Amino acid sequence: MPRSTPANRSVEADFRALHNQVAELGDQLGALLSKAKQEGGAAAEAELGLLQEKLNTLLADAKDKGQEAWNKVEDTVRERPGTSLVTAFAAGAILAGLLLRR
C-alpha cells in the first residue's frame, strides 16, 4: 500500500479545496442565471463574465494540479517499481472484486 506522504496529503487537500471552489462557483453561476432570466440586463451579464473568468482560472489550476499529481505518481513508480506494481495489482483485484459482486 502506498504511504501517505506530506506531498500526497498536500495534493489531496489542494484537490478538495479546488473541488469546493468549483462547486461554489457552480452555485453562484446557477443563481446568476436565475437572476438573469428574471431581471435580464447588463449587470447580470457582467457578473456572468466575471464568474466565467473565475471558472476558467480554476479549471487551469485544476489542470496544473492534475499534472503535478501525475508527475508525482510517475516519480513514485520510477523510484519504487516493485511496490507500485504490487499496489496496482491489489487495487485492480479489489476493484474487480467489487465489480463482480454486483
Predicted pLDDT at 1:
46
Decide if 58 contacts 22 (C-beta within 8 A): yes
More confident of the two residues 23 and 74: 74
Model confidence over 33-85: pLDDT tens digits? 777 766 666 676 777 788 888 888 988 988 999 999 999 989 988 999 999 89
C-alpha cell at 12: 489531496
> pLDDT confidence of 21, banded at 50, 70, 90?
confident
Q: CA-CA distance, 47 to 33, in Å (whole number)? A: 10
